[in-house]
Each structure stands twice: as structure tokens, then as C-alpha cells.
Structure 1
Amino acid sequence: MLIHRAREAGFAVGVALIVSVAATSAYATDPTPKWCQGVKIAAFPGGPQGGVFANNVYNGFKQAELDLGPSVTYYFSDWDPNKMLTQIQQALATKVDGIATYGFGGEAATAPMVDQAFAQGTIFTTLNTSLPESQKKYSAKGFGYVGAPNYAAGFALGAEAAKRADLKAGDKVFVWGLKGQGGDRGQRTVGVIDAFTKAGAKVIYQEIDSATNADPNAGTATFVGVMGANPGIKIVVTDHGGLTSNVGVYARAASLKPGQVFFAGFDMSPNTAQAVKEGYQNLVIDQQPYLQGYLPILNICLTKKFGFSGLDVNTAGAFVDSSNVDAVAPLAAKEIR
């Protein structure tokens, strides 16, 4: 009888221990607020403060900062690759835990800074414009990429615009882009041009100058001049979120009616949504720049705290046009999409 009871007592103790261990295990994995607190990050929205696209990225950064708890310093670069490279060097000098930036400078100029970053214990990751060789070298240490595969995105936009506008061999198209910019960023414009070349179109190309890059209104005279000098242009592609947001202004300045020319471009904004509704803007690739801000902060926090490798996320999965703009427009107004 005593032995039987002792066995019962032993069984009860064993069950209690199992429950206790299970409960301890559950508590160990409970969600933790602000779990990235104490981590210092330098984040690059890309353009001017408050500018189109840059502000969407900034909003993603800010939400991640609020949700996760790191301390974030922001560098606004006016879409100037040289300014961004200088700011990256400044950020490195502060010995931050992580840097989330664009690859505008290209591999040749940026790779030495990436090497310096990881040598000093700073996690370096990219958004919007990749540094594929550096990412391959350091992905296991946290180097990731959040954005579109740029050449493929450019080609996809050009091909879709050609199809929807019923482009014929010999038709004129105007591509306003950044082919001359280093690395992966210039490849997006190359992708657009290649798609039109494959379709047999006559491509009229204009590099976006530095003034227009920083302030799209500065390009109005350029747009009017190109359209006036090349009558019969069937498609216009603006390979820049700021310029795409200004399509309504450009079209009116050139006395174009809605639908007279097929406009395609990159990135949603309140003005772009309005231009789609008015019939000026016909096709937009939505890169979801908010994610290009939020996810790199998450990337750095995951690597710093838990040793995770870099994230690689394609954010450009959909076109926006008149059929679905009403769903996106309210989010564009909040600078989330």
C-alpha cells in the first residue's frame, strides 16, 4: 500500500515537473515588446525630406523603429549618389550597429564601405537598389535586399506598356530615366529600353538631370521640349517616382489630353493615383516602398539580436491602373503605398 502510494506520488511529481518545464518553455518564447532596444541604426530614405517615395520609405523606417525599439538616425540624400556615399562614410564613423541604404553608388564605390562595415561589426543591408556582389559575400552575416529586381521590373513595365498601348514596330516611345546611374539602379532604365527595342520601337531617351532628380517640377520644360521635338510619341515612361507623380503637370504643360499618350511609370503617390483617375497615367508598378523601409530595419534587428542571415524580398509584385487604383489610393494618401 505504501509502495503504491509512493509510486502515485512519484507520478504526480513527474507530471508537475513536465508541466513546469512546458510552462517555462512557453514563457521563454513569449513575444517581447521593443526587443531591438539598444540597437543603433543609420537609415537612408533616399531623397529629400518629405519627397515622393522617400517619405514612404521613411514612414516604413519610423514604424519599424516604433514597433521594434532601435535608435535610428536618418540621412536624406536628395537622390544624389555621391551625397549618399559621403553620408554612408559618416554613418560608419559613428560605429552604428547597422546601416540600411540604397545601392545607388554601385559596387565599385560602395563595396569598400561594405567591407569596412562588417569588419567593424556594422551590419550593412540594402533597399530599392541592390549590391549583388556584396550581398553574396555577406548575406550570411546579415546583408539583405528589399526591393525590386530592377532590370526585370524595368523590362516588365516596358513590355506591359507596349502590349496595352498596342505598340507597333517604328512607333516612338520616350523613356525618361537614369541609365547613367551606377550599378543596379541604372539597369531598371536599361530594362525599359530593352523591352521597347525588342518590340521594334524607336526609343527617344532623356537622362534625368540632377535638378529634376531632386525636384520633378524642374523637368517640366524638358518634357515639353522633348514632346514638341518628337511629334507622335505613343508611350512615355518616367523611371522615377517623383517624375511619375508629376505626370499630370507634364501632360497639361504639353497640352496633352488624357489618353492621348500612354504614360507608364514607377511608384504610387497621391498625385499618381489622381493622375490615374483622371486618365493621364495609365500604368504604374507599385514597388511598395513602405516595405523597403520597414523590412531592412527588421533585417538588422534580427541579425544583431539572433544572428539571422539577410532577408531577400521582392516588393514589386503588381501593376496599378484604373481598374484597381481605388483600392490603393487611400493608402497612397497616407504615404504607405
Structure 2
Amino acid sequence: MLQKVSRVLVSVFLLCILASCANQNSNQTTKPNTDRSNVRFVVVTHGQPADPFWSVVKKGVDQAAKDMGVKVEYQSPDRFDMAAMAHLIDAAVASRPDGLVVSIPDADALSPSIKKAIDAGIPVISMNSGNDAGKRLGVLVHVGQTEYEAGYKGGERMASEGVKYALCINHEVGNAGLDARCQGFSDALKKAGAKVDLLAVELANPTESQQRIEAALAAKPNIDGIMTLGPTGADPALNALRSKNLLGKVKIATFDLSDKVLTAIKNGELDFAIDQQQYLQGYLPVVLLTLYRENLNTVANDVVMTGPGFVTKENVDKVTDLAKKGTR
């Protein structure tokens, strides 16, 4: 499977190079002869550009727009709000873009709006969340990681480190992708004979989140592992362990990267982070839509996999250097 994924990614980048560079002469090093200035794509996600994770996605979107010479509009609701996101997709469809990129954290809420785009003849690529829903709807391809499998890999890794009783902390209940992460994590640990409890915390209230985690640790002192589903959950979980003097005694890992996550890995406070390379999730859909519009190019797989990978103490320094550039 990984070999197939690698071949797909290599093909994508080769096509990108060909599309951007084939018509350049020796005196043109940055701008292809093909004029794409009137090509416009819209990207609608459930994550805000101010969020550390989504700021990297947007950087990928912006760089791809520059490299392809197209216009791209990045839009998101002010908070996790599926009604508002559906409205943004509807407005994008009404504006008749040349292509649409969407995340699908809640298929029930967003499918009607995405179906309108497909029925209107607008090519759609899904990214980050919703690979199964995207396939059912008929999007061209999904760019991201399959969340259940990523959670499963994280659970296997924790089980190999001897965890017997873990918390899976969900900071955005209702996000199908996050639910799948917890399910995969739980299934892997339970297969190894361990126990997992789910704990919901509030995305917008880190103080309350920390208090809920502290209460869970106090009520269940035999907890020896914590998985958080993103930096928003990792920060209060780390603070909870610090306040209870449990750092180093309870294994803790997270999905996704941030400055604080990378620092915690470097300091030995976090065991690992599951990296889905969100820069690629922003970059590749713009490239793929450009190639589809110009040459009807598609990829053979339903999902172009960008993860999961693992950031550990062994590779954190290299990843940190890239994160400072805003690309990891």
C-alpha cells in the first residue's frame, strides 16, 4: 500500500513539474507560459487560518496558488459550525469557481452542499476530513490521511510502550474525523488487552479542558496513557500532568504539530506526535485541480495519503526547523 501511495505522490509532483515548467524557456525561471490568471478555485475548510494546524494548510494553499499561477480563496467559519460552513460552500458554488476544495468533518451536514457543486459540474476535491463521504459523493480524490488507521497506528505504538489504561481526549466532539481517530486508537489498545476511556473537552476553553483532565486523572489513578487529537487538546493535557506531577509517569502523545508540541517532544514530555503533513493537504488539491482543468488528469487511488507519520525525539529537530518556515 505504501509503495502505491509513494507512486501516486511521485506522479503528482512529476505532473506538477511538467505542468509548470514544460513550456518555459531558459530565460523564464518562475512563471509558466500558460496564463492561468483567470482560473479561480475556492477552498472551504472547518479550520480557521489562525489555528496553528490550519495556518500550515493555508500556507500550502497559498504556495500552490503561486506555483500554479491561479487564484485561490480560502474560507472557513469563525468557529466549528457546520451550518455556517455549508453556507460558505453554497456561496462558493453560486460564484461558479473553476474548482472547489472542501474538508468534510460532518457528512450529514455538508453533503447536500457538496452535491450541489458536483451536480453543477464543478470539480471537487476533499481534504483532511471525510475520505469516505467524499468517495460516496463523487469527489475527484481525497487528500489526507485515513483517520481510523492513523488512530490505530497510534494505539499500537502506545500498546508497545506498555500502556494498559488510556484516555482519548476529544476537543471537537461531532467531528467525524476525530471520532474515527479515537475509535482506531481504542481498537488497537483493546486488541492488546488495554482499556480506553473517551473524554470530551471544549475546544474554546483550555482552562476548563485542563480541569476535566485533572478530574479524570484523580478519579482513575491507574491511567497510564493519554492520546489527544490535536494541539488544542495536547496543551491542557500537558498542563494537567504538570499540575499533578505526572509528567514522565503517564505516557502522552498527540495528533498534529505545533510549536508547543514540538518543544514538548524535544523536552521528553510528549512521547510522539502523529503527523499528517497538512501542508500537503493544502498544496496538492490546488495542483490536482489545475491539472484536471487543463488536462483531465486524475490519480488512480481514492485517497492521496499524506500520513500518518511519527515525530519523535529522534527527528524532532529537523521537523522543528521546517515548522519555523511554516511548512510542518
For this structure pair, what is the TM-score category when the shorter chain's length is used for normalisation? Answer: 0.7 to 0.9
Q: Which residue pairs with 1:50 in the alignment?
A: 50
Q: Which residue pairs with 1:314 in the alignment?
A: 305
Q: Which residue pairs with 1:121 in the alignment?
A: 121
Deviation, structure 1 residue 178? 6.3
Identify the match of residue 146 of structure 1 among 143, 146, 166.
Answer: 143
Deviation, structure 1 residue 267? 0.8
Question: 1:46 and 1:331, CA in 2 relative to 1: closer, same or farther beyond 3 A?
Answer: farther
Question: 1:329 and 1:195, CA in 2 relative to 1: closer, same or farther beyond 3 A?
Answer: same
Letter aligned with residue 228 of structure 1:
A
Letter aligned with residue 328 of structure 1:
V
Letter aligned with residue 87 of structure 1:
L
1:199 paired with 2:192, answer: yes
1:88 paired with 2:94, answer: no
Q: What TM-score results when the alignment is normalised by the length of structure 1?
A: 0.80
Cα distance in 2 between the residues matched to 1:316 and 1:250: 28
Q: Which residue pairs with 2:104 in the alignment?
A: 103
Question: 1:39 and 1:207, CA in 2 relative to 1: closer, same or farther beyond 3 A?
Answer: same
Contact 2:104 2:129 in 1 (8 A): yes
RMSD, matched Cα: 2.4
Contact 1:130 1:184 in 2 (8 A): yes
Contact 1:40 1:97 in 2 (8 A): yes
Cα distance in 1 between the residues matched to 2:173 and 2:152: 17
Contact 1:147 1:314 in 2 (8 A): yes
1:266 paired with 2:266, answer: no
Q: What TM-score results when the alignment is normalised by the length of structure 2?
A: 0.82
Look up the SS of the partner of 2:169 in the other structure.
Answer: strand
Contact 1:37 1:68 in 2 (8 A): no
Deviation, structure 1 residue 160? 0.7
Matches within 5 A, 1:1-337: 29-31=22-24, 32=32, 36-77=36-77, 78-106=79-107, 108-135=108-135, 138-139=138-139, 143-164=140-161, 166-167=162-163, 171-177=164-170, 181=174, 183-209=176-202, 212=203, 214=204, 216=206, 218-244=208-234, 247-257=237-247, 259-309=248-298, 312-337=303-328
Which stretch has the larger CA shift, 259-268 or 223-232? 223-232
Cα distance in 2 between the residues matched to 1:91 and 1:217: 36
Contact 1:131 1:183 in 2 (8 A): no
Contact 1:251 1:280 in 2 (8 A): no
Deviation, structure 1 residue 159? 0.9
Question: 1:33 and 1:219, CA in 2 relative to 1: closer, same or farther beyond 3 A?
Answer: farther
Cα distance in 2 between the residues matched to 1:299 and 1:73: 16
1:215-255 deviations in Å (ceiling 9; x for gaps): 64552222222222221211000012432355543432443
Q: Which runs of 5+ in 1 are unaligned?
A: 1-27
Aligned residues: 298
Deviation, structure 1 residue 34? 6.6
Question: 1:185 and 1:96, CA in 2 relative to 1: closer, same or farther beyond 3 A?
Answer: farther
Question: 1:44 and 1:116, CA in 2 relative to 1: closer, same or farther beyond 3 A?
Answer: closer
Which stretch has the larger CA shift, 176-185 or 285-294? 176-185
Cα distance in 2 between the residues matched to 1:204 and 1:232: 12
Percent identity for Structure 1 against Structure 2: 27
Cα distance in 1 between the residues matched to 2:214 and 2:34: 51
Contact 2:89 2:114 in 1 (8 A): no
Q: Which runs of 5+ in 2 are unaligned?
A: 1-20, 25-31
Look up the SS of the partner of 2:138 in the other structure.
Answer: helix
Report the structure number with the largest CA radius of gyration.
1
Cα distance in 2 between the residues matched to 1:133 and 1:47: 18
Cα distance in 1 between the residues matched to 2:33 and 2:45: 25
Question: 1:82 and 1:228, CA in 2 relative to 1: closer, same or farther beyond 3 A?
Answer: farther
Contact 1:153 1:191 in 2 (8 A): yes
1:56-113 deviations in Å (ceiling 9; x for gaps): 101101111111122122212334434322322222222222221211121x333322
Question: 1:35 and 1:281, CA in 2 relative to 1: closer, same or farther beyond 3 A?
Answer: farther
